[in-house]
Chain A
Amino acid sequence: MDLVPLTTPSREKLRLAFTVNGEPRDLVVESYKTLLEVLREDLGLTGTKHGCELGECGACAVILDGELVLSCLVAAVECPGRSATTVEGLRQGPELHPLQQCFADHGAAQCGYCTPGMLVAAKWLLDRNPRATRGEIAEALSGQICRCTGYLQIFDAVEAAGRTLRGEPAPAPLLPSVHRGSTNGR
């Protein structure tokens, strides 16, 4: 082992009363937990993903009091009284948020593991900048790593969702041209 613990975790429990996806939550958790583990293990909200616990991959992004944060780097003790939005809180009822719908339609979710963090980061972006350009989208999502899609579907989905949110017609998902009937096309 090459890592040395800095302190022994406190055995004290923490009363954590905060708001998650608009719902008040009041629970007692071990005071050493991260927000990520409280969400996943205590509240069962496993949509927020555990990818690196180092603040590098972006899979655990949530919105905390309007700010985009990496929940693996936020201690639970920082959270009483605050308000968190996770991927589970994006939709209202059965209807998907336009971002969710566009991610599904554009194939922006492939293995799906980066998707929740990507969606939350995109929501944060569009909340502040409803007319985000492609460049601004790429910049804002640069802390979110995806290993599957090749990113273009994600840009397309965020752009399309932005248009939908603004009440503009959104372009249909891009499909590659398939030239058919080429057999042994020498």
Chain B
Amino acid sequence: MTTRNVGQPFVRRDGRAKVTGEARYSYEVAVPDAVYGVLVTSGIAKGRIVEIDTSAAEREAGVLAVISHKNALRLPGEPHLEGPDRVVQALQDDRIRYSNQPIAVAVADTFERAVHAAMLVRVNAEVAAHTVRVEDELHNAFPHKIMAGGKLQEPDESHGDVAAGLVAGAARVEEAYETPFETHNPLEPHATVASWSGDRLTVYDASQWVFAVKKKLAKGFGIPPENVRVVTKFVGGAFGCKGSAWSHVVIAALAAKQVARPVKLALSRHQMFGPVGGRPRTRQKVAVAAQRDGKLTAIRHETVSPTSRFDVFVEASALQARHLYASPNIESRHRIVRLDIGTPTFMRAPGESSGSFALESAMDELAHRLEMDPLALRLASYAEKDPADGKPFSSKSLRACYQEGARRFGWEKRPRTPRSQTRSGQFVGMGMATAMYPANFAPAQALARMLPDGSAQVESGTIDLGTGAYTVFAQIAADELGLPFEKVRFDLGDSDMPEAPIAAGSMTAASVGSAVLVASRALRDRLIRTAIVDSASPLHGLAPIEIRAEDGRLVATSGKSDSYVELIRRAGGKPIEERGKTAPGDEREKFSMHGFGAHFAEVLVDPDLGTVHVSRMVGVFATGRILNARTARSQFLGGMVWGIGMALHEHSVFDEKLGRIMTRDLSDYHVAVNADVGSIEPLFLEEEDAHVDPAGVKGAGELGLCGAAAAIANAVFNATGKRIRELPITPDKLL
């Protein structure tokens, strides 16, 4: 394949629309006659609504309706899908299942009037005892299959004799680690605009997956899926929380039906905490043991995380222990407990980020105990094949990542003993950790169309979360069609387009990229066939194998050529299109497929204040082909900065008595800001992987976060001698 466009660092196609303010996000789509919906949410965590007084709200000028379970239309169907879809509360009953649950919606002619009306709703509830503490429910912890990587995985896995392995080592670490509740907090709040025309529904939604929104609404409202169209052209960040249609999406459609007007509904920042998921807290236990030479004799990784009373989400923190290091004895266990909370959900690197904090911290502790370089310990148990099942890796360049990262970072300058190096009165520490994330791939479809002017239009109903989908898929199509990048337009974000999987799990480039490749190749072959049967074509009668696509032309090895413009003109002047689809095949059974990387972090810790500043990070990643180094760099930089947030800041703190998150705005829920970011250098070791998927891509969105928090925590230990096993590492824990 020629790769004149793939691999080039083109600037983001949608950059201009975003810097001029022209990019319209879901809430901003101009829909005539739209009115505004504002949710009323529950102030208690559990109970039953006895009385809901909406009269004051309804009396206000401009208020069209206040809809609660008392007057909401009964949905004919259950708005819930098989697979990774969340159970929603769409004003269908009087039960309160978690704090901040939607219990009514006020609809008015202006946004402020709707806010005001929502505030005037008075609720009398019968309060039931709740618990939001994992500790209270540990006795009821239970295993549940895990939805990860597009398939159900076993909660427990074990091979060898871990108990024997743990005592066989020269050194052993058995510790408990904890990661807190976190909340996605994309800058754009969830937003839905719903508009009915008879029994046809159009929805502009801040979504990672328009097809799931479409199917869910069709099921809930009892209409054929083809009657629902969902459009998402731009999303202001998502990170997993927009991967499922939550309650407000159904409520917006319901309200629009009841008031017979289009309804715009956005969540307030407060409402982002609870009803739209988050990363659940984890309580993990890791036991690792190794011989004197660093060879691991056993790994045991156990985790407990909470889900809601009415739905299941498992934070799969212990999955990577199955695949990461070579050891004859490996055991992993997942348990969940039910709490009176909104259902947690996938949040950037679900499982891998929280789990790698525990596993990679334990590895660092083991290295310290063995008086070994942490990097040498990891190399001593380097897995040449997948420890879980002995399958070969489709590609794995982790060793090179370690080496290149150590060199770029200056790992040899790492203080050998904690608390031994200072700079301007601050302790200096260095830490490292391994990154691993599965190379996911899901069925996807695309359409490629050659237009009479010789330019191509390619589309698939995927989403550009800011990842670069608009850009990189045009690059792939351009190479297959032999067109310059500027001559290919890629469009997305519409459920009327060919079906694409959820834009999540770092699988969009692999899945949609492969579908675009297949569709474009099919179109090229169709154009070649059209030319060789066309007696007026210079290519008439040639064999397809003699013909390639180049610079907007079909060119024969003899030098004869035909342009797309001429070809289509002679064929009747109509656009010619082909569809393509891809799906995982046998290769997935033969190979273990993961992206890998190595993080190196330097921190400065103030001995008096306990503040931690991440002064430097180097991350080296091997994740198949890099389609566009500029957009890929952004993904990894963002992931690494999420690592800073996870290590030092992010925490959805629960008020256990009230059963709700207290830190429910951006002044209390801290994310990494400008001043938290020092020097960060992500780089890539590009791999040619013929097995992983047709596009040769392993994914970029999540790998940069995996292990990042552990590298920082390990650097904090190196700086201070204090091992913090509970994130985030706030100053109080270091003083």
From A101, A112, A155, A173, contact of B18 by CB (8 A): A112
Within the complex, the shortest CB–CB distance from B633 to chain A, in Å, comes to 5
Of all chain A residues, which has the CB nearest B184?
A147
Q: Does B641 contact A (CB under 8 A)?
A: yes
Which of A63-71, A124-132, A134-142, A163-171 makes up part of the contact surface?
A134-142
Interface residues of A in 86-142 (CB under 8 A from B): 86-88, 90-91, 96, 99-101, 103-105, 107, 109-116, 119, 138-139, 141-142
Within the complex, the shortest CB–CB distance from B344 to chain A, in Å, comes to 19
From B16, B118, B639, contact of A1 by CB (8 A): B118
Among B27, B60, B237, B238: residue with most chain A CB under 10 A? B237
Q: Report the separation of the CA atoms of residues A48 and B667 in the bound assembly, to the nearest whole angstrom.
A: 20
| B686–A178 touching, CB < 8 Å | yes
| B187–A56 touching, CB < 8 Å | no
Q: Report the separation of the CA atoms of residues A96 and B187 in the bound assembly, to the nearest whole angstrom.
A: 24
From B15, B622, B626, contact of A185 by CB (8 A): B622
* Per-position 1/0 for B626-665, Cβ under 8 A of A: 1001111110111111000000000000000000000001
For residue A59, which residues in chain B have a CB less than 8 angstroms away from its CB?
Answer: 187
| B665–A54 touching, CB < 8 Å | yes
Q: Does B9 contact A (CB under 8 A)?
A: yes
Of all chain B residues, which has the CB nearest A47?
B21
Q: Report the separation of the CA atoms of residues A180 and B397 in the bound assembly, to the nearest whole angstrom.
A: 12
| B15–A103 touching, CB < 8 Å | yes
Contacts A37-B111, A179-B404 given; does A116 touch B187 at CB 8 Å: no
For residue B237, which residues in chain A have a CB less than 8 angstroms away from its CB?
Answer: 111, 113, 147-148
From B12, B118, B671, contact of A145 by CB (8 A): B671
For residue A115, which residues in chain B have a CB less than 8 angstroms away from its CB?
Answer: 18-19
Interface residues of B in 670-727 (CB under 8 A from A): 671-675, 677, 680-689
Within the complex, the shortest CB–CB distance from A58 to chain B, in Å, comes to 9
Q: Does B235 contact A (CB under 8 A)?
A: yes
Q: Does B23 contact A (CB under 8 A)?
A: yes
Contacts A37-B111, A178-B626 given; does A152 touch B680 at CB 8 Å: yes
For residue A56, which residues in chain B have a CB less than 8 angstroms away from its CB?
Answer: 269, 665-667
| B633–A176 touching, CB < 8 Å | yes
| A9–B21 touching, CB < 8 Å | no
Q: Does A46 contact B (CB under 8 A)?
A: yes
| A186–B465 touching, CB < 8 Å | no
Of all chain A residues, which has the CB nearest B110?
A30
* Per-position 1/0 for B267-289, Cβ under 8 A of A: 01100000000000000000000
| A54–B666 touching, CB < 8 Å | yes
Contacts A56-B667, A182-B397 given; does A1 touch B123 at CB 8 Å: yes
Q: Does B113 contact A (CB under 8 A)?
A: yes
| A104–B396 touching, CB < 8 Å | no
| B18–A1 touching, CB < 8 Å | no
For residue B23, which residues in chain A have a CB less than 8 angstroms away from its CB?
Answer: 112
Q: Report the separation of the CA atoms of residues A37 and B111 in the bound assembly, to the nearest whole angstrom.
A: 8
For residue B640, which residues in chain A have a CB less than 8 angstroms away from its CB?
Answer: 150
For residue B626, which residues in chain A have a CB less than 8 angstroms away from its CB?
Answer: 178
For residue A145, which residues in chain B have a CB less than 8 angstroms away from its CB?
Answer: 187, 666, 671, 673
Of all chain B residues, which has the CB nearest A111?
B466
Q: Does B141 contact A (CB under 8 A)?
A: no
Q: Report the separation of the CA atoms of residues A61 and B519 in the bound assembly, to the nearest whole angstrom.
A: 43
From B9, B19, B400, B637, contact of A182 by CB (8 A): B400
Interface residues of B in 113-133 (CB under 8 A from A): 113, 116, 118-123
Q: Does B112 contact A (CB under 8 A)?
A: yes
Main secondary structure of the interface of A (DSSP, over half): loop
Within the complex, the shortest CB–CB distance from B56 to chain A, in Å, comes to 10
Q: How many of A's residues come within 8 Å of B, CB to CB? A: 80
For residue A119, which residues in chain B have a CB less than 8 angstroms away from its CB?
Answer: 19
| B683–A5 touching, CB < 8 Å | no
From A30, A91, A100, A110, contact of B112 by CB (8 A): A30
From A48, A111, A152, A182, contact of B622 by CB (8 A): A182
From B19, B61, B680, contact of A109 by CB (8 A): B19
For residue A149, which residues in chain B have a CB less than 8 angstroms away from its CB?
Answer: 634, 637-638, 641
Q: Report the separation of the CA atoms of residues A141 and B393 in the bound assembly, to the nearest whole angstrom.
A: 44
For residue A57, which residues in chain B have a CB less than 8 angstroms away from its CB?
Answer: 187, 269, 666
| B24–A46 touching, CB < 8 Å | yes
| B21–A107 touching, CB < 8 Å | no
Of all chain A residues, which has the CB nearest B188?
A113
From B40, B185, B186, B675, contact of A139 by CB (8 A): B675
Q: Does B33 contact A (CB under 8 A)?
A: no
Contacts A5-B120, A88-B20, A179-B683 given; does A104 touch B112 at CB 8 Å: no
Of all chain B residues, which has the CB nearest A109?
B18
* Per-position 1/0 for B235-278, Cβ under 8 A of A: 11111000000000000000000000000001011000000000
Contacts A47-B20, A50-B266, A107-B634 given; does A1 touch B121 at CB 8 Å: yes
From B467, B639, B687, contact of A183 by CB (8 A): B687
| B119–A3 touching, CB < 8 Å | yes
For residue A186, which residues in chain B have a CB less than 8 angstroms away from its CB?
Answer: 384, 396-397, 399-400
Q: Report the separation of the CA atoms of residues A22 and B384 in the bound assembly, to the nearest whole angstrom.
A: 65
Contacts A5-B116, A150-B680, A151-B677 given; does A104 touch B15 at CB 8 Å: yes
| B110–A5 touching, CB < 8 Å | no
Q: How many of B's residues come within 8 Å of A, CB to CB? A: 93
| A52–B112 touching, CB < 8 Å | no
Q: Report the separation of the CA atoms of residues A30 and B36 in the bound assembly, to the nearest whole angstrom.
A: 15
From B11, B186, B404, contact of A147 by CB (8 A): B186
For residue A176, which residues in chain B have a CB less than 8 angstroms away from its CB?
Answer: 629, 632-633, 636, 681-684
Q: Report the separation of the CA atoms of residues A185 and B680 in the bound assembly, to the nearest whole angstrom.
A: 24
Among B235, B630, B632: residue with most chain A CB under 10 A? B630
Among B9, B20, B235: residue with most chain A CB under 10 A? B20
| A104–B12 touching, CB < 8 Å | yes
Q: Report the separation of the CA atoms of residues A175 and B384 in the bound assembly, to the nearest whole angstrom.
A: 31
Q: Does B78 contact A (CB under 8 A)?
A: no
Q: Report the separation of the CA atoms of residues A107 and B395 in the bound assembly, to the nearest whole angstrom.
A: 29
For residue A48, which residues in chain B have a CB less than 8 angstroms away from its CB?
Answer: 21
* Per-position 1/0 for B613-631, Cβ under 8 A of A: 0000000001000100111
Q: Does B177 contact A (CB under 8 A)?
A: no
| B11–A105 touching, CB < 8 Å | yes
Q: Does B14 contact A (CB under 8 A)?
A: yes
Q: Does A41 contact B (CB under 8 A)?
A: yes
| B674–A138 touching, CB < 8 Å | yes
Among B22, B189, B636: residue with most chain A CB under 10 A? B189
For residue A154, which residues in chain B have a CB less than 8 angstroms away from its CB?
Answer: 674
Within the complex, the shortest CB–CB distance from B594 to chain A, in Å, comes to 13
Q: Does B199 contact A (CB under 8 A)?
A: no
Within the complex, the shortest CB–CB distance from A59 to chain B, in Å, comes to 6
For residue B60, which residues in chain A have a CB less than 8 angstroms away from its CB?
Answer: 8
For residue B269, which residues in chain A have a CB less than 8 angstroms away from its CB?
Answer: 51-54, 56-57
| A49–B396 touching, CB < 8 Å | no
Within the complex, the shortest CB–CB distance from A172 to chain B, in Å, comes to 11
| A109–B677 touching, CB < 8 Å | no
| B630–A173 touching, CB < 8 Å | yes
Within the complex, the shortest CB–CB distance from B31 to chain A, in Å, comes to 12
Q: Does B30 contact A (CB under 8 A)?
A: yes
Q: Report the separation of the CA atoms of residues A184 and B687 in the bound assembly, to the nearest whole angstrom.
A: 7
Q: Report the separation of the CA atoms of residues A51 and B269 in the bound assembly, to the nearest whole angstrom.
A: 7
* Per-position 1/0 for A2-13, Cβ under 8 A of B: 111100110100
Q: Does B28 contact A (CB under 8 A)?
A: yes
Q: Does B731 contact A (CB under 8 A)?
A: no
Q: Report the separation of the CA atoms of residues A172 and B99 in the bound assembly, to the nearest whole angstrom.
A: 49
| B187–A182 touching, CB < 8 Å | no
Q: Does B25 contact A (CB under 8 A)?
A: yes
Within the complex, the shortest CB–CB distance from A101 to chain B, in Å, comes to 8
Within the complex, the shortest CB–CB distance from B586 to chain A, in Å, comes to 20
| A112–B236 touching, CB < 8 Å | yes
Could you list 5 examples of A-B contacts with CB < 8 Å? A52-B268, A110-B634, A151-B674, A176-B629, A186-B399
5 other A-B residue contacts (CB within 8 Å) besides A112-B19, A141-B674: A1-B121, A32-B112, A49-B236, A87-B21, A179-B404
Closest 4 pairs (CB-CB, A-B): A47-B21, A113-B236, A111-B466, A112-B18
